């Protein structure tokens, strides 16, 4: 019998509810920050809370496997988990499948029993329930040097299905996003998780890749994650961001490099915020891998920026139709 660490009874709590195609519902203000009376950007609160959730790992009818916050609601990617620096996250993982699997995080602290790796005997046997504890921290000073905190755009994934590195689990869809906020961070109106997994986006290829939607003027946050065996780049048409922790400049003299395309290698992750359609207007804007044969092969999707009232801007539906009918060409090794 595979042993699991002792833990008290945990309650299920939805930090952020996952939705189809990796679209995540907006943050509930009451869960993450005091209500704001004005239309000014919301700001992150202070950490130090222990948050308890239950996640279900489930086999999907098409042979994929995914995480969900409720039975029968598993999605690819899994639910976007979000905490403040200083928070602790206790995850009760319920394995409803007949295969061993786990959950392994990037960017936070954990003991060996919560590693999610078979190397540390940290995984769920088939149909087993097990608790994983992740801790976050603020930056601190030690021996005159500053040690980094946990704030950043991270991710989590299986590390036990198929091989000791979870190759089968990641291939099948056992992955999701993790954000650790720093007090004072601006909170977005919309959040999207985009995972480049081998030659697919959120395990889908054109024309089935996710279309993300926002209204012009909304603050939109993208969390980008790489998995699989192929190096990628993430390019977003008509929008750019600062290549730093938040994607936003701290002032007019901030030396951060401003980009609209960034490398996204397997295991890497980054995030940023943009104002939808700022200075460019609404429309059906493309996002894609900028490795040419990856884009030609179907690694592309749409970021639909609607009018401020939610209506469809002129020409957007036609652009969507042309995108869906576009002929993509899997790589054959030929050039020209």
**E strand or H helix at 220, and its extent?**
strand 219-227
Give the torsion sign (CA, 45, 50, 56, 57): positive
Is residue 167 within 8 Å of residue 115, measured between CB atoms? no
DSSP three-state, residue 20: helix
Instruction: Tally Cβ neighbours within 10 Å of residue 111.
Output: 13
Peptide bond into 77 cis (omega under 30): yes
Query: CA–CA separation, 7 vs 280, rounded Å?
Result: 52
Rounded distance between C-alpha atoms, residue 249 and residue 259, angstroms? 12
Is there a contact between 26 and 214 (Cβ–Cβ < 8 Å)?
A: no
Q: What is the CATH architecture assignment of 188-336? A: Sandwich (2.60)
What is the chain's Cα-based Rg? 20
Instruction: Give Cα separations from 108 to 57, 88, 94, 134, 194 (angstroms).
Output: 21, 9, 21, 6, 20
pLDDT for res 144: 85
106, 8, 3, 5: which is closest to 50 by C-alpha? 8
Q: Residue 202 and residue 84: Cα distance in Å, rounded? A: 26
Ordered mean pLDDT values, 10 residues apiece, the chain (336 residues): 33 32 32 36 73 97 96 97 95 98 97 97 98 93 87 98 97 98 94 97 96 98 97 97 94 95 97 97 98 94 98 97 81 43
Alpha carbons 156 and 267: distance in angstroms, whole number: 10
Give the closest residue to 50 by CA, choosing from 3, 86, 102, 9. 86
Second CATH level (architecture) for the domain 10-27+43-186: Sandwich (2.60)
- Whether residue 129 contacts residue 151, with contact meaning beta carbons closer than 8 Å, is answered with no
Q: Give burial (CB, 10 Å; 0-12/13-18/19+) of 137.
A: middle
Q: How far apart are CA 304 and CA 334, in angstroms?
A: 33
Instruction: Identify whether the C-beta of residue 231 lies closer than 8 Å to the C-beta of residue 284.
Output: no
How far apart CA 222 and CA 192 sit, in angstroms, is: 5
What are the structural domain ranges in the chain?
10-27+43-186, 188-336
Question: Measured between alpha carbons, how far is 169 from 173 in angstroms, rounded to an integer?
Answer: 6
Ordered strands of the 232-236 beta sheet: 211-215, 300-306, 283-288, 232-236, 261-264
CA-CA distance, 159 to 165, in Å (whole number)? Answer: 5
- 188-336 shares the fold of 10-27+43-186: yes
- Judged by DSSP in three states, 276 sits in coil
Query: How, if at all, do strands 175-181 and 200-201 pair?
Result: unpaired
End-to-end alpha carbon distance in the chain: 58
């Amino acid at each position: 019998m595979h042993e699991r660490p002792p833990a008290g009874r945990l309650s299920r709590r939805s930090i952020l509810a996952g939705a189809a195609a990796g679209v995540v519902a907006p943050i509930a203000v009451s869960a993450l920050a005091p209500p704001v009376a004005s239309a000014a950007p919301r700001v992150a609160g202070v950490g130090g809370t222990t948050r308890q959730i239950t996640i279900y790992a489930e086999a999907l009818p098409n042979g994929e496997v995914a995480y969900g916050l409720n039975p029968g609601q598993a999605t690819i990617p899994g639910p976007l988990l979000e905490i403040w620096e200083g928070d602790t996250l206790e995850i009760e993982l319920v394995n409803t499948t007949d295969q061993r699997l786990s959950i392994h995080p990037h960017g936070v602290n954990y003991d060996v029993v919560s590693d999610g790796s078979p190397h540390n005997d940290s995984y769920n046997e088939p149909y087993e329930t097990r608790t994983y504890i992740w801790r976050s921290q603020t930056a601190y000073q030690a021996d005159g040097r500053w040690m980094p905190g946990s704030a950043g755009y991270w991710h989590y994934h299986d590390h036990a299905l198929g091989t000791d590195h979870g190759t089968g689990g990641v291939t099948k869809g056992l992955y999701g996003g993790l954000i650790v906020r720093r007090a004072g961070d601006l909170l977005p109106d919309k959040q999207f998780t985009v995972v480049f997994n081998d030659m697919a986006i959120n395990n889908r290829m054109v024309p089935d890749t996710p279309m993300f939607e926002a209204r012009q003027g909304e603050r939109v946050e993208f969390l980008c994650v790489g998995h699989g065996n192929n190096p990628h780049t993430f390019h977003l048409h008509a929008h750019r961001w600062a290549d730093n922790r938040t994607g936003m400049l701290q002032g007019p003299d901030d030396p951060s490099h401003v980009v609209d395309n960034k490398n996204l290698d397997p295991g890497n992750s980054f995030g940023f915020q943009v104002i939808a359609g700022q200075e460019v207007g609404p429309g059906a804007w493309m996002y894609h891998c900028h490795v040419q044969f990856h884009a030609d092969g179907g690694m592309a999707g749409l970021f639909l920026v609607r009018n401020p009232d939610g209506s469809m801007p002129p020409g957007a539906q036609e652009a969507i139709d042309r995108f869906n009918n576009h002929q993509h060409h899997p790589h054959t090794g030929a050039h020209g």
